[in-house]
Amino acid sequence: MSAPITQENLYLLLPVKIGWLAQWLSEDKGISLADAINRIYHSQLYKKLATESTKYWHLGPVDLYEELKIEL
């Protein structure tokens, strides 16, 4: 049995998703991991991802990364 995702527990999912995105962004752009993480946390995608009602947390890493590439 799994617990429902709410705004209060959504933060538990974010580090894994950000980790995938940061690694790929770092490799693609030739930037440090710290710079990649900084870009992600300041992106519109992160705002959507961190808001439960958008359901972006439901998307897989490939879909999220494609959206991030469009934004950046």
One digit per residue, pLDDT tens: the chain, 72 residues? Answer: 578 999 999 899 899 999 999 999 999 999 999 999 999 999 999 999 999 999 999 999 999 999 999 998
Instruction: Give SS3 for 29.
Output: helix
- The structural domains of the chain, with segments of one domain joined by +, span 10-71
Taking Cα atoms as reference points, which of 41, 44, 6 lies closest to residue 21?
Answer: 41
**Overall pTM > 0.85:** yes
**Left (φ > 0), alpha (ψ -120 to 50) or beta: where does 22 sit?**
alpha
Q: Please give the pLDDT value at position 3.
A: 82
CA neighbor of 48 nearest in space, from 25, 71, 24: 71
The tokens 């940061």 sit on which residue?
22
pLDDT at 2: 78
Cβ pair 13, 57 in contact under 8 A: yes
pLDDT at 1: 54
